[in-house]
Every structure is written in C-alpha cells, then in structure tokens.
Amino acid sequence: MEEPPSYPEEMGPKHWPSSRFSHVMKLRQAALRAARDKWSDYILFIDSDNLLTNPETLKLLIAENKTLVAPMLESRSLYSNFWCGITPQGYYKRTLEYPLIREWKRMGCFAVPMVHSTFLIDLRKEASAKLAFYPPHQDYTWSFDDIMVFAFSSRQAGVQMFICNREHYGFLPMPLKPQQSLQEEAENFVHTLIEAMIDRPPVEPSQYISVPPKHPDKMGFDEIFMINLKRRKDRRDRMLRTLYEQEIAVKVVEAVDGKALNTSQLKALSIEMLPGYRDPYSSRPLTRGEIGCFLSHYYIWKEVVSRGLEKTLVIEDDVRFEHQFKRKLIGAEPFSKMLPVDEFLPIMYNKHPVTKYMEYYEPRDLKAFSAEPLLVYPTHYTGQPGYLSDTETSTIWDNETVSTDWDRTHSWKSRQQGKIHSDAQNKDALPSQSSLDTPSARDEL
C-alpha cells in the first residue's frame, strides 16, 4: 500500500489528520490479514522507532500465553506503551496503578485497557479472529484515533490486553506535538538511542539499511574535554558512542586515579585537606578518590588557561555538564585546602551551606547556572542499581590503609539523591489531565 506524499488537512509531518490515521489503520489491517492468510501462529507489531533491546522478548511474550500482550517499553519519562485507565469518551485516564507498573514497583503481566506501539497477537486463539484495525467497529463512537479504535475492537472481541514488565524489553521515544519538525523527530530518536545505552550495549542499525554519516563538531566550544579513568573502558566506550550519536567531538582526558595515588605524591603536590572538612553526608574526611577527581578537573582548568580557551565544556564519563571557569578556579589555590570538587564549586559561586568552608576561599565570584528542565543529569544516582563511585569507594586522603565504602543504600545522601532523581524528571513527561481529554499527538510511525 503506497503512502501518499501528504495527507488532506495535514499541517506538518507530525500532524495526524483523519486521513493519516486511516492510512496507518489500513496498513496494520493488511498485515493482520496477510498473517491470517498464511496461517501464522503469531504476529508482532512494532513501530519503526521502537527499540527492542532484549533478545528474548519474543520468546518471553509467547510464554505468557495471552491473546494480546505487549512488552512494557521505557522512555526518559513515565511515558510508555500502555494505559491503565480509559475515560468513558475513550481518552487516557490517570490511575494509581500506572506509575507502580511503569516504575517496576509492581512486576508481572497486567490486564490493561490499552497497549500500543509494540505488541504480540496469538492468532491461534479463537478470539483473535474478531480483532480488527480497520474499519472501526460498527458501534465505535470515540475519537478517530488508531490506538483507540483498536482498543475498542479488542474490547468488543472479548480480548483482554496485557502489559508485561517482568523484564526490561526496550525503549520508545516521547511523542511529539503536531507542530514539531522531522529534525526534532530525528533528535528525539537519537535521545532514545542514548537512553538505551546507559546500562546496555549500543543498539546497532541493521545491515540492510543505510545510515547517513555523522559529522561530530565542538558545538562552538574551543574544546570539549571528557574525563575517564583508564581502567573504566566500559564507561569510556559508552560515553564516546553517546557523544558520537549526538555528533559531538571531544578530547579524552585520562583521569587521575585515586587508587594509584600514594602519600609521596600527595606530599610532592603539597596537598593538605581543608582544615575541619568532613563529608556533609557521611562525616568522613577527604578520600583519595576525591583528590583524583579534583586533580583531573584541575589539570583541565590549567590547560584551559594555558591554551587561552574562552569556551569549554567538561564532561565526566557518567555525567555531562558545562564549565567556563578560567582563572577563577586556578586562582583559588585549592591544593593547600583540598576538598571534593562538588564541594569546591558551590564555594566558588558563594552558595555552600557550610559557611566556615567558604572563609578559606577568595574571591567567590564564579557564576554558575543550571537549566530547568535539566539538560543533563547523572546516569545513576547513589544507591541505584548500577551505581558505581571511584571517589566514595577509595581510601582516606592521608592514610592509604584506611578504605572507605560507606553504606550508600541506607545513607542520608542516598535518600536525598533519590529525591533529586524524582525531581529531575522532565516535568513535560506526561501531559496535564485537561490535555489528555483530547486526541493525543501521535508519533508511532
């Protein structure tokens, strides 16, 4: 079925007029009919921008023995490929169950009124014969929307939809608004690729499709530095691939490894801990891992000054953020009053909660900015599965025989960062209830 070059009443490539819905519904119906004609046992529908990262997905879905079942897909927000509630008019309804399932607080296979984007139909089941994407059921009165039409068809056929979250199956992009462009859609998909790489190998393109070449650049910066411990090759590979997908060119900087620092080296550098310093969360002194982290940043700051760089971006291998520190960071002479870099920076912009620490540093006129919603954030917060710290798990700064591996799971810092993680979620993740009472923007195909 040939796709028309445009659709009547279409305002743009991401707008979904009725004619576009009809075309997609007819395509899906044709696929369903072809599967039935071939006496196929199953048919898997998957939108072209959905990423299945679990190679066992098909086997796992078949094992559920459901007529219609979907793997729960992840996005950067609470958005997923299922609903837990539907209003009498057929629109999305907020429920208490949805976030529990989406955030894996309840795990299993759950009966829901709507699944979309990626799902499996068992054609061996007798009830599946009544399923149809097009035309809409004769009793259908809801808005003309493909997923709503199919949900109604399933209801009328007596077929219960199920969403499964026993495993991590894959990812889908956030839906775009009708006025957005194809370029924004491409960027949205790149972000989905990047999210999929945080805890898993990169999703590779098929050998049967051509992918346009990428042209990494420095985004207008004089230099972009990426800090990485040599022994953390997995992080380096993931970050370099992540940056490449975004077409960002970086200079890799080998981090100073706190585990390799000895007392003689610290003395040679004249490093002394800030008098009276204690970690605000665990009350422990400075660690060598934190010194290594600080030195890694410090040497970059020195290079920025020596090369006369005006605009730089510094990226760690698990978090990305921008710096324009110049001489302010170097001029503070931090070696004689060392403390962790994430404590040092708030002091330099005069916002540290411990006033006595700030007394050792002048001037404190660094200008620091943050974006809302956040543009970057850590891949993992303290206490989360996959969290790894080379600064916390280290040794005390002046005694290499005393190791530090404080309890992140039950610490105050873990609880505080858990709150930050929740707050950091994009506030545009889910539309307001009022906007959910109208047909949603579609971004499946």
**Weakest mean pLDDT among 137-141, 144-148, 380-384:** 380-384
What is residue 28's predicted lDDT score, i.e. its pLDDT? Answer: 98
At 169 the pLDDT is 98
pLDDT band at 409 (very low <50, low <70, confident <90, very high): very low
Coil, strand or helix: which one is 233? helix
Considering 40-54, 194-208, 277-291, 409-423, the range whose residues carry the highest mean pLDDT is 40-54
- pTM for the predicted model, two decimal places: 0.71
Name the range with the highest mean pLDDT among 320-324, 344-348, 365-369, 425-429.
344-348
Q: Parse the chain into domains and list their residue ranges.
A: 18-181, 214-419
With bands split at pLDDT 50, 70 and 90, how would you rate the model's confidence at 399?
low
Averaged pLDDT of the chain: 81
Closest CA to 240 of 283, 280, 194, 273: 194
pLDDT band at 5 (very low <50, low <70, confident <90, very high): confident
Least confident of 80-94, 215-229, 278-292: 278-292
Lowest mean pLDDT of 91-100, 270-279, 403-412, name the range: 403-412
pLDDT in tens, 426-444: 444 444 444 444 444 443 3
CA–CA dist 281, 412 (Å, integer): 6
- Cα three-residue angle 351-387-107, rounded to 5 degrees: 120
Quick one: pLDDT band at residue 318, thresholds 50, 70, 90? confident
Q: Which amino acid is at 245?
A: E
Task: Assess contact for 120 and 69: CB atoms under 8 A.
Answer: yes
Residue 445 has pLDDT above 60, yes or no: no
Answer whether 118's CB lies under 8 Å from 70's CB. yes
Q: How far apart are CA 154 and CA 132, in angstroms?
A: 8
Lowest mean pLDDT among 49-53, 79-83, 440-444: 440-444
**Mean pLDDT score, 177-191:** 88
Compare 422 and 265 and report the one with higher pLDDT. 265
Rounded Cα distance between 404 and 394, Å, is 5
The DSSP string of 121-180 is: EETTSGGGGG--SSSPPTT--S-S-HHHHHHHHHHHHTPPEEEE-SS--EE-PPPPPTT-
Helix (H) or strand (E) holding 111: strand 109-112
If you average pLDDT over residues 29-53, what whole number do you get?
98
Position 353 scores a pLDDT of 75
Q: Give 411 or 327, the one with higher predicted confidence.
A: 411
334 contact partners, CB below 8 Å, separation of at least 6: 294, 298, 344, 361
**Own/partner long-range contacts of 31-34 (Cβ < 8 Å, ≥24 apart):** 32/121, 32/131, 32/132, 32/133
pLDDT at site 429: 42
* Beta-strand relationship, 312-316 and 223-228: parallel
φ, ψ dihedrals at 170, nearest 5°: 165, -160
Range in 3-7, 112-116, 351-355 with the lowest mean pLDDT? 351-355
Exposed, middle or buried: residue 228 (CB in 10 Å: 0-12, 13-18, 19+)?
buried
Q: Kindly report the CATH class assigned to 18-181.
A: alpha beta
